[in-house]
Amino acid sequence: MTLLSIDDLVVEHRTPGRPTVRAVAGVGLTVAKGEVVGLVGESGCGKSTLARAVCGLHPAAGGSITFDGRAVTPLGLRRRTLTGIQMVFQDPYSSLNPRRRAGDQIADGLRAGGGPGTPADLLERVGLPRDFAARHPHELSGGQRQRVAIARALAASPRLLIGDEPISSLDASAQSQVATLMRDLAVDSGAGLLFISHDLSVVRLIADRIAVMYLGKMVEVGATETVWNDPQHPYTQALLSAIPHPDALGNLPAELPGDVPDPADPPSGCRFHARCPHAMDVCGVREPDFGPAACWLHAPALP
């Protein structure tokens, strides 16, 4: 059953005196109850903007976001009554109030969700000692802070948990731990999880489905096993071959040539064609607006 459905979403960043940047340029995605969707892409591809738009932290310029049958309205000055969507942010150093104890911040979540238990119970669920409730954020490490942030989000009993690169600022040792923790906690409580990361190898471990974004567009969506073993889109293939494999053969990860183009002035046609090893004539002219792999190589029926 669909919990979150994003349809043709457009999100724009407007800065006076600069061209408008379409950070998200027509994206569709769904998350079902109890499903873990991994959203991957290079930095600057619009995945964080997408996450913020889903929470209502960024107004949509077009398209729709529907959560549980209701449209998500942008967060204004009024008190938020929709607490079913909670977010875990990227930087655990700025996502906790430095002046308040961990327990008090988790209690905010409990108040919002009306869930059972105490802050200490939640700390236990995220694998921290119960007495951490009395600590201030500066007494915690980055990984511990991120766990507190997860506990706070979970305390609100969300039906959709969003992780906006929640592991990218953590130590390598803490990354997969925190990722699997988020997955387990979300799935156990029956919530959906939208997990954003640029690290395909971690996303693969926790996601049921993987969505790949490039320059504000969704390029490929599919079941994790399919995307991992048989990627269709050349960009997904490039992302996968950029992952180092310890195969002792001395194979270096393949690098993708070129840089991400300026999102304020995206290339015509397929946004990836300038860097694509398989680019054809049609790629620079017409945009492949179909799925699950938005690539002319996999067009349903060539025009």
Partner 1 sequence: MRRLPQAWRRLPEAWRRPLAVTGGIMALAWVVIALAAPLLAPHDPLAQDLPRLAGPGPGHWFGTDQLGRDILSRVVYGARVSLPLTLLLVALSVLIGGLLGAIAGYFGRWADEAIMRLADLVFAFPTIILAMVVAAALGPSLGNAVLAVLVVAWASYARVSRGLVLAVRGQEYVLSGRLLGFSTWRSLRVDVLPNVTGPILVLATLDMGTALLLLSGLSFLGLGAKPPSAEWGAMVASGVEVFDSWWVATFPGLAILTVVLAFNFLGDTLRDALDPRTARAIKERAL
Closer residue to partner 1, CB minimum distance, 78 or 277: 78
Question: Smallest distance, Å, CB 52 to partner 1?
Answer: 8
Choose, by CB under 8 A, the member of 70, 111, 138, 278 that binds partner 1: 111
| CB nearer to partner 1: pick between 109 and 263 | 109
Stretch that binds partner 1, among 71-79, 189-197, 202-210, 219-227 (CB under 8 A): 71-79
Torsion, CA 227, CA 208, CA 12, CA 215, rounded to 10: -20
- How far CA 11 is from CA of 14, 27, 64, 289, 294, in Å, comes to 10, 9, 11, 17, 20
Q: Name every residue whose Cβ is closer than 8 Å to that of residue 111 and which is 6 or more positions away in sequence.
A: none
Q: Is 108 in the site for partner 1 (CB under 8 A)?
A: yes
Q: Is 94 in the site for partner 1 (CB under 8 A)?
A: yes
157 interacts with partner 1 by CB under 8 A: no
Closest-CA residue to 39 (of 208, 213, 179): 213
Is 98 or 277 the residue whose CB approaches partner 1 more closely?
98
Q: What's the rounded Cα separation, in Å, for the pair 36 and 4?
A: 12
87 binds partner 1 (CB under 8 A): yes
Residue 14 interacts with partner 1 (CB under 8 A): yes or no? no
Nearer to partner 1, 91 or 184 (CB): 91
Please pick, from the candidates 1, 18, 69, 78, the single residue that binds partner 1 as defined by CB under 8 A: 78
Q: Does residue 58 belong to the site contacting partner 1 (CB under 8 A)?
A: no
Q: Is 100 one of the binding residues for partner 1 (CB under 8 A)?
A: yes
Farthest CA pair distance, the chain:
64
The site for partner 1 (CB under 8 A) is made up of 55, 57, 75, 77-81, 83, 85-87, 89-91, 94-100, 105, 108-109, 111-112, 149, 152-153, 156
